[in-house]
Amino acid sequence: MESADRRAGLKSFVNGHRRYIGRSVLDLGCGGGVLGTLLAPTGREYLGVDANPDMLREARKTGLRFLQADVRRDRIPSRFETITLLGNAIAHFPIDEMDRLLTARRANARPGSTFIVDYRDLVAMFWQDTWTRVKVTTHVRGTITHRARLVDLDRGTLDLRARPSTRKWVLDWSHAIWSPFIFEALMRGHGWLLVRRTSSRAARGAKVPEYHIDVYRLEGSRSHRRES
């Protein structure tokens, strides 16, 4: 919530995708609930869901609705016109877990609902050699250095070790390997059809887009035409 860059990025997302955001929004992996604060003035119904109690403790200060749950399997009440999975949260879900998530969340969608997700195209980044063994990310409270340790091609993950500048903790975690052709095939298998994809190049000089925002619509809607 304190990150100006995070708020600016989500504000740009809302402005550019307003036509795909319905009257009710289920925000998976909502974190601090920044998206909810941007949607609240528009009158949309919002529910943020996250497994991290510390994130939700901060999010609930906004006065909006939040639920602590595992988005891959726990029951979430009601159906929504739009489901979001933003902030590269999909990095935490390799394909088998994303498959479980889509199965579980089908109960929260109806024909015509939209699913909006953003993700890094790690396949393109490997090909372009723009993913280095060491990545440094800047946050409100300092920097975190991520060191690549192993590419697990059986599971489709990049194993990393994260260490903050304060060096008070170390975290080993896995970044799922995604690319448009992988994700679109998975979504089609669950009845979601791609209607829009916007892409950007994360590195100067990269020939292949490395970051994508996809909009999918659940089959049964009046139009399945893909939009540029």
Condensed to tens digits (0 to 9), the pLDDT of residues 165-192 reads: 887 888 888 999 999 999 999 999 999 9
Query: What is the pLDDT at residue 223?
Result: 47
Of 112, 28, 18, the residue nearest 68 (C-alpha): 28
- Region 139-161: mean pLDDT is 85
Give the tens place of pLDDT for each residue, 2-48: 567 778 888 999 999 999 999 999 999 999 999 999 999 999 999 99
Distance CA 125, CA 199 (A): 13
Tally of residues, the chain: 228
Phi first, then psi: give them for residue 5, nearest 5 degrees: -65, -40
Spatial distance between the Cα atoms of 227 and 217, rounded to a whole number of angstroms? 12
- The model scores a pTM over 0.75: yes
- What's the count of helices (H) and strands (E) in the chain, helices before strands? 6, 11
Q: How do residues 123-136 score in pLDDT, each as one tens digit?
A: 988 888 887 777 77
Q: Which residues pair with 28 in a beta bridge?
A: 49, 85
Give pLDDT tens digits for 113-125: 999 999 999 998 8
For 99-150, give the DSSP string: HHHHHHHGGG--TT-EEEEEEE-HHHHHHHT---SEEEEEETTEEEEEEEEE
* 157-164 sheet: strands from edge to edge: 134-139, 142-152, 157-164, 171-176
pLDDT at residue 224 is higher than 50: no
CA angle 32, 164, 122 (to 5 degrees): 75
CA-CA distance, 59 to 91, in Å (whole number)? 21
CATH code of 4-121+177-218, in short, is 3.40.50.150
Residue-level pLDDT at 140: 62
Domain boundaries, the chain: 4-121+177-218, 125-174
- Band (pLDDT 50/70/90 cuts) for residue 164 is confident
The pLDDT tens digits of the residues spanning 57-114 come to 999 999 999 999 999 999 999 999 999 999 999 999 999 999 999 999 999 999 999 9
